[in-house]
Amino acid sequence: MAEVVIVPDAARAGVLVAEEIVRLITRRPDAVLGVATGSTPLPVYEALRERVGGVDVSLLRAFALDEYVGIDPDHPESYRNVIRREVVEPLGLDPERVRVPAGALMGIETAGEEYEEAIASAGGIDLQILGIGTDGHIGFNEPGSSFASRTRVKTLTQQTREDNARFFESVDDVPEHCITQGLGTILAARHLVLLAFGAGKAEAVAGAIEGPVTASVPGSAIQLHSHVTVVVDEAAASALRFGDYYRYAWSHKPAWQGL
Ligand code: PGA
């Protein structure tokens, strides 16, 4: 099962995950990181920024989970720009080694397949950072997504468009389509690290970790993976049945194990 770590706040989660990423890069300088957008991973990137001074990140490679389809690539909220602003520039990564799915309409038919080939030729993703949507999505795999799915175009739910409207002038400006790594793509990463903060995520988190494995809750796909770390604050953990056990297991974890 997933290891569930309940932390006091998002900043502590950021430090825990950043330390694990630094361990990975130290062990393997050309590691492949799976990066996510949205508000959730920001504390990880912030904690990483404070730690990369002492680590050589020149060979690090990264793949983003998803992108809006048809968005102007120069729009500040295109994920290409978000990843450049939040990850590539602050961490000093080589932009040539960081990929985001191509959301341009021209060539969209083959963009998913090309992205899968790029991930495969990088040797696969070592550590994938994930957020979770209030509707249970991971990446932009909305409810009903196949557990075998690979990178492809999806239609966003109205819920997701409303959740993301805060990044745009209005909900009408949020694109209707996206290109996202599939659940099958995500499950092929070697270590999944899912983060969630706030009471608004409590139900999605409980469904993903403790609910039935079902395409209706795409996040529940993580139950099929052998190495998953879920890092949540108290509010996001509030609907978990086995919270006491997760706290007990974490406080008794042998120090050598890492995440
Ligand atoms: P958020 O989005 O981090 O902005 O809450 C998470 C997600 O939609 O996966």
Q: Which of 67, 86, 116, 137 is catalytic?
A: 137
| Residue 22 to residue 6: CA distance in whole angstroms | 21
Residues 65 and 115 sit within 8 Å (Cβ to Cβ): no
pLDDT at 3: 96
Three-state DSSP at 138 gives: strand
* pTM assigned to the model: 0.96
Question: DSSP of 74-98, one letter per residue?
Answer: TSTTSHHHHHIIIIIHHHT--GGGE
Q: Which of 66, 77, 126, 163 is catalytic?
A: 66
**What is the atom index within ligand 1 of the atom nearest the CA of 197?**
5
**What is the atom index within ligand 1 of the atom nearest the CA of 40?**
3
Query: Judging by beta carbons within 10 Å of its beta carbon (0-12, 13-18, 19+), is residue 93 exposed, middle or buried?
Result: buried
238 CA to centre of ligand 1 in angstroms: 18
Q: What is the pLDDT of residues 197-250, one digit of tens each?
A: 999 999 999 999 999 999 999 999 999 999 999 999 999 999 999 999 999 999
| Predicted confidence (pLDDT) at residue 73 exceeds the cutoff of 90 | no
Residues 151 and 188 sit within 8 Å (Cβ to Cβ): no
Q: Pick the residue with more confidence: 54 or 132?
A: 132
Three-state DSSP at 234 gives: coil
Answer whether 38 contacts ligand 1 (Cβ < 6 A): yes
Q: What is the pLDDT of residues 75-110, one digit of tens each?
A: 999 999 999 999 999 999 999 999 999 999 999 999
Is 234 among the catalytic positions? no
Answer whether 132 contacts ligand 1 (Cβ < 6 A): yes
Above pLDDT 70, what percent of the chain?
100
Q: Say whether domain 3-253 belongs to CATH 3.30.565.10.
A: no
Determine the distance from the C-alpha atom of residue 214 to the mean position of all C-alpha atoms in its chain, rounded to a whole number: 19
**What is the atom index within ligand 1 of the atom nearest the CA of 130?**
9
Q: What is the DSSP letter of 230?
A: E
Question: In terms of DSSP bridges, do strands 32-35 and 127-130 run parallel, antiparallel, or are they unpaired?
Answer: parallel
38 CA to centre of ligand 1 in angstroms: 5
Q: Which of 86, 116, 126, 135 is catalytic?
A: 135
As a whole number, mean pLDDT of residues 128-143 equals 96
pLDDT at 138: 98
Q: What is the pLDDT of residues 50-70, one digit of tens each?
A: 999 889 999 999 999 999 999
Give, in order, the Cα–Cα distances in Å from 120 to each of 103, 111, 114, 117, 151: 20, 14, 10, 5, 12
Q: What is the pLDDT of residues 149-200, one digit of tens each?
A: 999 999 999 999 999 999 999 999 999 999 999 999 999 999 999 999 999 9
pLDDT at 133: 95
Three-state DSSP at 117 gives: helix
